[in-house]
Amino acid sequence: MVEFPAMKNDLLLRAARGEETERAPVWVMRQAGRYLPEFRKVRESHEFFEVCRTPELATEVTVQPIRRYTGLIDASIIFSDILVIPQAMGMEVQMNPGPHFPDPLNTPEDIEKLTKVVDVNKELGYVFEAITSTRKALNGEVPLIGFCGAPWTLFAYMIEGGGSKTFQKAKTWLFRYPEESKALLLRIADVCVDFLVGQVKAGAQLLQVFDSWAGELAPHHFHEFSFPGLQYITKGVRQKLASLGIPSVPMTLFAKGANHALSVLAGEGGYDVLGIDWGIEPSEARRIVGDKVALQGNLDPNLLYGGRDAIEREVKRMCEGFRVGGRVKGWIANLGHGITPGVDPEDLRWFFECVRKYSS
């Protein structure tokens, strides 16, 4: 393991373990991204996946929001993309501007086109290099989060060939070819495990699994097709780290739109933190999960377009909703999904300042 500078701010890690904190740690999903002019400047001369695959560039854009919001932000998340896993499995992915697969999986026979055994060090070593480089660049200022996409979300992209409003192709697979679908989901989960373990070895201090399309499944289909892979990942990561003699790190699951599954995820999922979207009140989420897990979330990202008064009002409401007996305990403040490209960076600064004010 590489030696890294001592942590100066471990607020996120303490909150993820369910501890009481002096205020809520705060970061936002997609915080290294298109809303920042300094990020857009980098992208003027570098293609999206080129930034992902070049450790120096990935480090630079990961650190940009930490540099801009010095002292206001409590975590960094490595600049990468959930679709590096399909790439590692042998699929071509283009970004123009959204993700596009020129040759998606149309029938189960197409699974034969995928790489049989994925060597994550060979295929995704650039992410590990970027993580190690970024940990050093952060110099202990804030923890570094590693991540991957969840099997169901990646499966949907690989079959749909990009984003979708209906998920017709991916769901056709689930319903028409359930056993082949489960086998592919498990193959994806295996790569996720190896990828996340590699990120911890490289220096990631917390891991997040993004199941962005969880809410597209009926509750019973979520339990049949998505949940097993999510559970498999936490068990696999912890077992592999233990076998290597590496301490485990906190793990967060963000299953967007799957608030119906909070009880099961808190009881059997194996995650330390559950991210929630704005479709559930914080107090209701806490009632469901009790003290089994920490929570992360959950401001509607579109509120960042609503002006300073609206941001302050809703952040105050959010902070009150997440308090446990008047205390801040086991809560990481965040948005209920990723920040969108048109947000004024100064309005995001106001969001951070309001979280600090009302969660202290």
pLDDT of residue 216: 98
User: What is the rounded average pLDDT of the residues 139-165?
Assistant: 98
Residue 142, pLDDT score:
98
- The per-residue pLDDT for 320 is 97
Provide the pLDDT for residue 96: 83
- Residue 94 phi, psi dihedral angles, 5° rounding: -115, 155
pLDDT at 148 over 80: yes
- Tokens (6 digits) for 92: 């071509």
Q: What is the pLDDT of residue 356?
A: 98
Q: pLDDT digit string (tens) for 272-322?
A: 999 999 999 999 999 999 999 999 999 999 999 999 999 999 999 999 999
Q: Is the pLDDT of residue 51 over 90?
A: yes
The yes-or-no verdict on residue 75 having pLDDT over 90 is yes
Question: Which H/E stretch holds residue 269?
Answer: none
Task: For the beta carbon of residue 70, count every other beta carbon within 10 angstroms.
Answer: 10
Residues forming the active site? 30, 34, 43, 81, 157
Residue 86 clears pLDDT 80, i.e. is over it: yes
Q: Provide the terminal-to-terminal Cα distance of the chain, rounded to the nearest Å.
A: 35
pTM (predicted TM-score): 0.98
- Contacts made by residues 87-90, CB under 8 angstroms, sequence distance 24+: 87/49, 87/123, 88/115, 88/118, 88/120, 88/123, 88/124, 88/191, 88/195, 89/114, 89/115, 89/118, 89/158, 89/187, 89/188, 89/191, 90/114, 90/115
Inform me whether the pLDDT recorded for 1 exceeds 80.
no
**Closest residue by Cα to residue 233 from 188, 277, 267, 202:** 188
In three-state secondary structure terms, 327 is strand
* The CA-based dihedral angle spanning residues 71, 77, 79, 84, taken in that order and rounded to the nearest 10 degrees: 180
Between CA 76 and CA 58 the distance in angstroms is: 12
- What is the pLDDT, as a whole number, of residue 97? 84
pLDDT of residue 288: 98
Confidence of residue 268 (pLDDT cuts 50, 70, 90): very high
pLDDT digits (tens, 9 = 90+) for 202-253: 999 999 999 999 999 999 999 999 999 999 999 999 999 999 999 999 999 9
Cis (ω within 30 of 0) for the bond into 298?
A: yes
Average of per-residue pLDDT values in the chain: 97
Note whether 273 and 251 are within 8 A (CB): yes
Residue 2: pLDDT over 90: no
pLDDT grade for 42, boundaries at 50, 70 and 90: very high
Compute the radius of gyration of the chain from its Cα atoms.
19
- The pLDDT score that the predictor gives to residue 271 is 98
Q: Domains, the chain, ranges and CATH?
A: 11-359 (3.20.20.210)
Residue 173 near residue 111, CB atoms below 8 Å: no
With a cut of 90, say whether residue 138 has pLDDT above it. Answer: yes
Q: Which amino acid belongs to residue 74?
A: D
Give the residue-averaged pLDDT of 143-157: 98
